[in-house]
Chain A
Amino acid sequence: MAVAARTRSTLAATGRAAADPGIEAPWFARIPTGVWLVGAVLLTMPAYANNFVLFQVFGWSFILGIIALSLMFLAGYGGMVSLIQMTVAGLAGYMVAILGPSGTEQISLGLSWWIYLPVALAVATLFGTLVGTLAVRTEGIYTIMITLAIASAFFYFTRQNYTIFNGYNGFTLVRPPDLFGVDWRQPVPFYYLSLACAALCYAAVVYVARAPFGLALQGIRDNARRMAALGYNVTAHRILAYGFASVLAAVGGVLLVWQNGQIAPGTAGIPAVIDILVIAVVGGLRRPIGPFIGALIYVVLSSFAPDILTAFGLEPDRFKLIVGLGFLAAVFFSPDGVLGLWDRWQARRARRPDPLTGKVP
């Protein structure tokens, strides 16, 4: 409850400060203590976590979190459940592999990072925006279907096209550029790289959600017809939201190909597309932190569940079963994901009678 109140009163606070300048606290003083704590723990993580945890658990969580964040932005603020975000990420990854250097030398052009990086982000963003242009003309289940159809078309296209996407084999040995003499694929540098990107994307979504663009998107989610009656071009606004979300997904895709060192059709296959939806829903679609919580849960499960399953004498690749049961439990018990459980726990704690006075606040 407290969190919800905080997020919704930002504009009001700005308005009050406008009427009475001098009472507004500086921006860093308005950041809650919890954020400082989480930030401090994340920044000092390399001091007490091993390389597997840094690179595989947190690195991957940040990447999946960024891609799921782009879905959260569309679904949570725009009411549009898009299954294209993983494909946008995959296309960005493919562009890095095709334009930059890779082990597949007969296709990869080996251009410099300052060419392939902006081009990869631009191409993926353009693609995501074009898909959005088609998808915004539909609602609800049809948005899901049309984006899923394009996602599976992309998967089959990359698997069958050998001239550009190298078909089934994809690209191997895709490495991040050695900027500033750092090997960015080493666990600690990659941890900080993905942490920085995740923090930036998170901050961007939090900021834009309270800017006119994000507010109008939430207005469209609540009541598209009324927004049109206030002078907003609802279709254009939704398409631009796809564009914004595509930038996030593309950043996630570039990190993903650097982390894996390779990319193949399966990177953006249907299971991967569905996983992003599961991550966003399990974490919670209401606030931008949800996708990162969902991603961490997903990664921890998929990293450690095989060991646990083996201990019980089950096939290790059954970890998806656990993920699936978790998803089922989440949508069944808390449609708002883990965030919803947290909110409810906070609300219940706030209602508990005071132990000294016995009064209910």
Chain B
Amino acid sequence: MSVLDSPAPSSRLASVGATAALELRGVTRMFGALAAIADVSLTVRPGERRAVLGSNGAGKTTLFNCITGDILPTSGTVRLFGEDVTRFPPYERIRRGLRRTYQISLLFPGLSVADSVYLACRGVSRWRYSLLRPRTGDPLLMRTAELIEAVHLTPARDRLVSELSYGQQRQLEIALALAGAPRLILFDEPAAGLSPAERRELVEILTTLPRHIGFVIIEHDMDVALRVAESVTMLHNGRVFKEGAPDEIEDDPEVQALYLGGAHG
């Protein structure tokens, strides 16, 4: 995992710890009369690993969409690394070090694995509009190869994304999120649909990420979520229901009743 230890502009910030990586204040998003999330406040320190739990419809993915700018909150503010990005388009937030993966893989069926990862590296670099092909020895091509290796996709690097297996597509999702110099990654159910062996591999990838990279993870698999997270936020009906350390949350009878009840319902 040494390839992921790229020098991050935030490493100094992380040690100071003065500025939150992510700060939500009273974020609400209405769909018609329904509040998908209501008055959510949340602070994630630089390098912190946070799990967001909650039953289906608790507003977890809407929360992610508000953070990335895929949808705009009806009210409330979103701050990234101290900067108010509430009205910023997604690409501006990405250029500030935010990344995300999607619950249902959102990839490029017509491109190869190598091209996809290369584009992800390019997206946050300058010259993303370049009309010139990369020269041999372009550092981004090296970086692309390293990332593909890091998610164990090297044998499939020249295959079209549409030809990949489900598990490989999930791995590619993670490679795309790790490209560039991420400081905060949002993982939306990365373990969904993976085999037990693939889950163990995922946990290993997540726990060995460089310390300066923080992440927020939505995960239905409590085993995965509580193993990789240092803190937990529990959402219920679009509101923050509980916050605490993983073992506190796990042992909380109220949470247990709600979460298990909701998951089966």
Q: Which A positions have Cβ atoms within 8 angstroms of B?
A: 8-9, 11-12, 14-15, 17-19, 21, 24, 207-208, 210-213, 215-216, 218-219, 221-223, 225-234, 237, 240, 244
B128 close to A231 (CB less than 8 A): yes
- Partner pick for B91 among A12, A208, A233, CB 8 A cutoff: A233
C-alpha spacing A228/B91, complex, angstroms: 5
B131 close to A18 (CB less than 8 A): no
Interface-facing stretch out of B11-19, B114-122, B200-208, B242-250? B114-122
Lowest 4 A-B CB distances belong to which pairs? A231-B123, A230-B123, A222-B108, A231-B94
- Tell me which of A21, A213, A226 has the highest count of chain B C-beta atoms within 10 A of its own C-beta: A226
- For residue B117, give the distance in angstroms from its CB to the closest CB of chain A: 10
A212 close to B129 (CB less than 8 A): yes
- For residue A58, give the distance in angstroms from its CB to the closest CB of chain B: 29
Residue of B nearest to A230 (CB): B123
In the complex, whether B89 has a CB less than 8 A from a CB of chain A is yes
Residue of B nearest to A235 (CB): B89
Interface of B is mostly: loop
Residue of A nearest to B124 (CB): A231
- For residue B89, give the distance in angstroms from its CB to the closest CB of chain A: 7
A212 close to B127 (CB less than 8 A): yes
C-alpha spacing A15/B145, complex, angstroms: 8
C-alpha spacing A91/B204, complex, angstroms: 60
Contact sample, A vs B, 14 pairs, CB 8 Å cutoff = A9-B112, A12-B112, A15-B114, A18-B136, A213-B130, A215-B119, A216-B119, A216-B122, A228-B70, A229-B90, A230-B179, A231-B95, A231-B123, A237-B129
C-alpha spacing A344/B145, complex, angstroms: 33
Asked whether A230 and B131 contact (CB < 8 A) given A19-B145, A216-B119, the answer is no
- Tell me which of B95, B128, B179 has the highest count of chain A C-beta atoms within 10 A of its own C-beta: B128
A225 close to B106 (CB less than 8 A): yes
In the complex, whether B264 has a CB less than 8 A from a CB of chain A is no
In the complex, whether B85 has a CB less than 8 A from a CB of chain A is no
B136 close to A24 (CB less than 8 A): yes
In the complex, whether B59 has a CB less than 8 A from a CB of chain A is no
B138 surroundings in chain A (CB, below 8 A): 18
C-alpha spacing A237/B129, complex, angstroms: 7
- Partner pick for B158 among A12, A223, A231, CB 8 A cutoff: A12
C-alpha spacing A227/B107, complex, angstroms: 9
A231 surroundings in chain B (CB, below 8 A): 91, 94-95, 123-124, 128, 180
B70 surroundings in chain A (CB, below 8 A): 225, 228-229
In the complex, whether B100 has a CB less than 8 A from a CB of chain A is yes
B114 close to A11 (CB less than 8 A): yes
In the complex, whether B234 has a CB less than 8 A from a CB of chain A is no
B112 close to A8 (CB less than 8 A): yes
- Partner pick for B106 among A221, A223, A237, CB 8 A cutoff: A223
B91 close to A11 (CB less than 8 A): no
C-alpha spacing A108/B106, complex, angstroms: 54
B108 close to A226 (CB less than 8 A): yes
In the complex, whether B142 has a CB less than 8 A from a CB of chain A is yes
- For residue B14, give the distance in angstroms from its CB to the closest CB of chain A: 22
A12 close to B114 (CB less than 8 A): yes
